[in-house]
A and B are shown apart, each in its own frame.
Chain A
Amino acid sequence: MSRPRKDPRAERAAQRVAGATRPRFDLARTPETATSGRPRRDPRAEERLALVPGTLRRRLDRTRRAGEAAIPAPQPLATPAPDAPALRRIPEPAFLVALVPDAPGGRLTPHDRQLFGAARLLADAGGGAVVALVDPAADDLAAAGADRVLTLPVSGYDPEGKALALDAALAALGLRHLLFPESAEGGDLARRVAALSGEALFAGAESLTAKAVTRAAHGRRTEQRGAPPTLISLAPDAVAPHAGTLHEALPVAFAFPATTGGAILAAEFVAADPARVSLAEADFVTSAGNGVSDFETFRALIAALGATPGASRMVCDAGLMPRAAQVGASGTVLDARCYFALGIAGAPQHLQGVAKCEHVVAVNTDLHAAMIERAGLAIVADAQEVMPALLRLIAEEASA
C-alpha cells in the first residue's frame, strides 16, 4: 500500500511542453517529484539488505532479526561463487557430534550424506563440531560436512572390534551424540555400541531437529519423541543431506585400546551373482516382453550386461522364461536400482512391479506405451534390432 497512486492527468500535465500554441507532450520526460507525499519503496534495496551472506543459495532474512548492523553492506562480491562453497572452520567446538557412515568401499552413500546433514543440524545448533568416524580412505568428507575425521583402527569385517573402538571413543572424547545410519551395517554397529556402553539407542529416528527426535514403536502404532539422546540411528530419507559449506575435515588422533580377535574366524564377501540373485533383491534387472522373440540373444545380452533376467507375464505364460522371472504385481515387485525393459509396453500390473526402481530404460516400438512414459531413457525402436547392436557394442568395447 506504500505505492503511490498514479494520477494520469497530473502526469500528462507534467509532460506538457510549455509555450506551444498546440498542446505538445514530451512522453520521455519523467515527472521530477512524486505526486503523493509518501516515500517510494525500493524492493531491490530491501532485498539486498535481507540477503544472508555466506550461503550457496540466495537466502533472505526478512525478519531482520540478525540486526541490520551485523550485516555488512550489500556487495555482490560477498556471495561466493556457486562452484566454490565457503569453507567454515570451527576451531573451538563447544561439543562434538560424531557419526559413523557406512561408506562401502570408501564412497559415501546417500544415506551417509543424510547422516552428515543430521549431524550438522545437531552441531550447528550450539556451535559444536562434527566428527566423522570412518574406516580408512573415505572420500569428500569435507564437502559432506565433517569438521574432524577420526580413522578407526579396524581391518576386515570385525563389527565387534569396531564397536569396542567406538565405545572407547564415546567415553574418552565425551561425544555429545553418536549417529549411525539405520542400515544393515550401521544398525548392527549402533546396537553393538549400545549394548557395550549401556546407553539407550534411539533406533531408526524418522525426524530429527536439535530439540526433538521421533521414531515409530510398538509395531508402528505409537510415535516416541524426546530430546536427542547420545546414540541415535537415523532412518533413510529422514533428514536432508548437508550442502552449502565446506568443512575442514581435520584428521584427529586418538589412542584406541588394542582389541583381541572376536568370534568371527573368517569372512568372505560374495558379490551378488546377477544370474542367480532373486528378482526381489536384484540391483539391475533386464526384462523381456512381447517385443522380444529371440531369447538366445536376450540371454547373451543379460550375461554381457551382468543383469538379472526378468520377463513380462506374457512371456512367462508362453513358457519362454521361467515363472520366477515374472516382474509385476502378480510376479515379483522389484527393489532394483535400474530396470531395463526390452519390448515391454507396461501394463499397470507390470508398472506396479517396477514402481520402486530409480532408473528405467525402455526400448519399445510404441511411442505411446506406458513404459516409454515411465522411462528415464526411452528409445522407440525394435528391441530385436537393439539387442544385437548392444551386444556388438559391448564386444567392441571389451576388445578395445
Chain B
Amino acid sequence: MRIAVLLSAGRHAVSGRPAPVPVELQAVGLAADFVERHGADLTGLHAGPDVGPLRDALGHGLPNLVHLVTGADDDPLPSLAAALREGAFDLILAGRVAQGGEDSGLLPYALARALGLPIVSDAAALAPGETPGTLNVEQALPRGARRRLLVRLPVLVTVHPAAPAARPFAFAGARRGILETRPGLAAPRASTGLEERPYRPRPKLIAKAAAGASAAERLKAATEAASGGGRLLVDPPPEEAAREILAYLAGIGVVAKR
C-alpha cells in the first residue's frame, strides 16, 4: 500500500510566519501510525515555490517529502495530480483546508475529480478494511459523534482536527528525513476576479436574536450570553431543585423529554 500526505504552505495563525498546517501534521501522524501498524510506503507531497518549514513535517513522523517546485503564482493542482498519478497511491491524505492559496478547501476535491478518485471528508481514524483493497474511515461529526465508513481504495481522505494530536516534533527526525526536489508543472492560476484587501474581522451576529427582534431583545440576547442572567433559586428543597434542573435540561434538549 502506498500513502501520500499533501502538505501546504501554511502560516502561523498569530505570528504569520511560515509554518506547517496543524491538521496536516495530524494527517502525517495518522499515516505514520497506519504505517507502523499495518505497513505501507509513506511520502509527503508539496507543490509550491519554497519548502520552508514544511521540512519540519519530517520531524513529525514523515520519512520523506517530495517538493514539486512551481512558481509562486502557479496552481499546485496539475503538479500534484501528475505526481499522484505517477506514484499510483492507494490512499491520499490531505488536511481539511490547505493554506497558502485561497484557503477554500477546494483542492482535495478538485484533485479527486482530476484523478477520478472518491473523496471522504473529515477522517479522525483510519484502519484497513477486512477485505483487501478497502479502508475503514472514522469520520468526525460535530459534537463528538462519528460515522464509520468502509470505502474502496484508492481514495482521497481529508483529515479532521479531531484526529489524534500530531506526533511531537523530533529535530533529529527532520534531519534524517529525505527531501526530494522535483520540477512541478507551470500552470498560472486563473484570476479569481475578486477584490482583495487586508482582512478585518467582522462582528458575528448574535444567533439568538432573529431579524424580527427588537433592539431591546437583541441587547438582552447579547448580554445574556455573557452573564447568564437566568433564574435563581435560593435554598429550594432538593426535590424542587432536581425538578427544575431536569426541566431546564430537557428544555434545551440535552436530556430526553419524558
Q: Which residues of A contact B (CB under 8 A)?
A: 56-57, 110, 114, 117, 157, 159-160, 183-184, 187-188, 191-192, 194-196, 200-204, 206-207, 214, 216-226, 236-244, 262-272, 274, 277-278, 281-284, 305-307, 337-338, 340, 358-361, 363, 367, 372-381, 385-386, 388-390, 392-394, 397-398, 400
B162 contacts the other chain (Cβ, under 8 Å)? yes
Tell me whether A380 and B233 are in contact (CB under 8 A).
yes
Tell me whether A388 and B238 are in contact (CB under 8 A).
yes
Tell me whether B149 and A241 are in contact (CB under 8 A).
no
Closest to B258 in A: A397
Cross-chain pairs A/B with CB under 8 angstroms, 15 sampled: A183-B142, A192-B109, A217-B196, A219-B11, A223-B197, A224-B196, A238-B205, A262-B118, A338-B254, A359-B252, A360-B228, A377-B231, A379-B233, A386-B241, A389-B239
Question: Apart from A237-B205, A359-B254, A378-B230, what 4 extra A-B contacts exist at CB < 8 Å?
Answer: A225-B194, A272-B145, A363-B241, A389-B239
Complex CA distance for A268 and B105, rounded to whole angstroms? 25
* Closest 9 pairs between A and B when the two form their complex, measured CB to CB: A263-B118, A376-B230, A272-B144, A389-B238, A277-B144, A243-B212, A281-B144, A203-B104, A195-B109
B172 contacts the other chain (Cβ, under 8 Å)? no
Tell me how far the C-beta of A223 lies from the nearest C-beta in chain B, rounded to whole angstroms. 5
Closest to A263 in B: B118
Tell me whether B227 and A284 are in contact (CB under 8 A).
no
Complex CA distance for A367 and B245, rounded to whole angstroms? 17
Give the residues in chain B near A281, CB-CB below 8 Å. Answer: 143-144, 162
Q: Which residues of B contact A (CB under 8 A)?
A: 10-11, 13, 16, 99-106, 108-110, 112-113, 118-122, 134, 140-152, 155, 160, 162, 192-200, 202, 204-207, 209-214, 225, 227-236, 238-239, 241-246, 248-249, 252, 254-255, 258
Complex CA distance for A47 and B18, rounded to whole angstroms? 59
Tell me whether A372 and B241 are in contact (CB under 8 A).
no
Complex CA distance for A396 and B192, rounded to whole angstroms? 62
Complex CA distance for A187 and B100, rounded to whole angstroms? 19
Tell me whether A192 and B119 are in contact (CB under 8 A).
yes
Give the residues in chain B near A191, CB-CB below 8 Å. Answer: 104-106, 108-109
Tell me whether A385 and B238 are in contact (CB under 8 A).
yes
Complex CA distance for A358 and B224, rounded to whole angstroms? 10
Given contacts A56-B212, A243-B212, contact A267 B102 (CB under 8 A): no
Given contacts A222-B199, A244-B212, A283-B254, contact A237 B207 (CB under 8 A): yes
Q: Which of A195, A216, A338 has the most CB of B within 10 A?
A: A195
Tell me whether B147 and A201 are in contact (CB under 8 A).
no
Closest to B21 in A: A219
Tell me whether B254 and A219 are in contact (CB under 8 A).
no
Kindly identify which residue among B101, B104, B113 contacts A204, using a CB–CB cutoff of 8 Å: B104
Tell me how far the C-beta of B155 lies from the nearest C-beta in chain A, rounded to whole angstroms. 6
Given contacts A244-B211, A377-B231, A378-B230, contact A217 B149 (CB under 8 A): no
Tell me whether B16 and A219 are in contact (CB under 8 A).
yes
Given contacts A284-B254, A389-B241, contact A203 B105 (CB under 8 A): yes
Tell me how far the C-beta of B258 lies from the nearest C-beta in chain A, rounded to whole angstroms. 5
Given contacts A201-B104, A373-B228, A381-B236, contact A269 B147 (CB under 8 A): yes
Q: Which of B146, B211, B235 has the most CB of A within 10 A?
A: B211
Tell me whether B147 and A267 are in contact (CB under 8 A).
yes
Given contacts A243-B211, A267-B149, A363-B241, contact A374 B194 (CB under 8 A): no
Q: How many residue pairs, one in A and one in B, have C-beta atoms under 8 Å apart?
A: 262
Give the residues in chain B near A203, CB-CB below 8 Å. Answer: 102-106
Tell me whether A338 and B249 are in contact (CB under 8 A).
yes
Give the residues in chain A near B155, CB-CB below 8 Å. Answer: 263
Tell me how far the C-beta of B90 lies from the nearest C-beta in chain A, rounded to whole angstroms. 12
Complex CA distance for A242 and B205, rounded to whole angstroms? 13
Tell me whether A378 and B199 are in contact (CB under 8 A).
no
Give the residues in chain A near B162, CB-CB below 8 Å. Answer: 278, 281
Tell me how far the C-beta of A207 lies from the nearest C-beta in chain B, rounded to whole angstroms. 6
Given contacts A338-B249, A377-B248, contact A157 B147 (CB under 8 A): yes
Complex CA distance for A305 and B254, rounded to whole angstroms? 9
Tell me how far the C-beta of B217 lies from the nearest C-beta in chain A, rounded to whole angstroms. 10
Complex CA distance for A388 and B239, rounded to whole angstroms? 9
Tell me how far the C-beta of A288 lies from the nearest C-beta in chain B, rounded to whole angstroms. 15
Tell me whether B150 and A392 are in contact (CB under 8 A).
no
Complex CA distance for A110 and B205, rounded to whole angstroms? 12
Complex CA distance for A214 and B200, rounded to whole angstroms? 10
Complex CA distance for A184 and B102, rounded to whole angstroms? 19
Given contacts A184-B121, A338-B254, A380-B234, contact A265 B151 (CB under 8 A): yes
Tell me whether A188 and B246 are in contact (CB under 8 A).
no
Given contacts A201-B106, A219-B99, contact A390 B202 (CB under 8 A): no
Tell me whether B211 and A240 are in contact (CB under 8 A).
yes
Give the residues in chain B near A337, CB-CB below 8 Å. Answer: 143, 252, 254
Give the residues in chain B near A374, CB-CB below 8 Å. Answer: 227-228
Tell me how far the C-beta of B11 lies from the nearest C-beta in chain A, rounded to whole angstroms. 4
Tell me whether B106 and A194 are in contact (CB under 8 A).
yes
Give the residues in chain B near A57, CB-CB below 8 Å. Answer: 212, 214
Tell me whether A379 and B207 are in contact (CB under 8 A).
no
Tell me how far the C-beta of B168 lies from the nearest C-beta in chain A, rounded to whole angstroms. 18
Give the residues in chain A near B233, CB-CB below 8 Å. Answer: 377-381
Complex CA distance for A113 and B248, rounded to whole angstroms? 24
Q: Which of A160, A217, A242, A379 has the most CB of B within 10 A?
A: A379
Closest to B160 in A: A184
Tell me whether B242 and A223 are in contact (CB under 8 A).
no
Closest to B148 in A: A268
Kindly identify which residue among A195, A206, A241, A271 contacts B106, using a CB–CB cutoff of 8 Å: A195
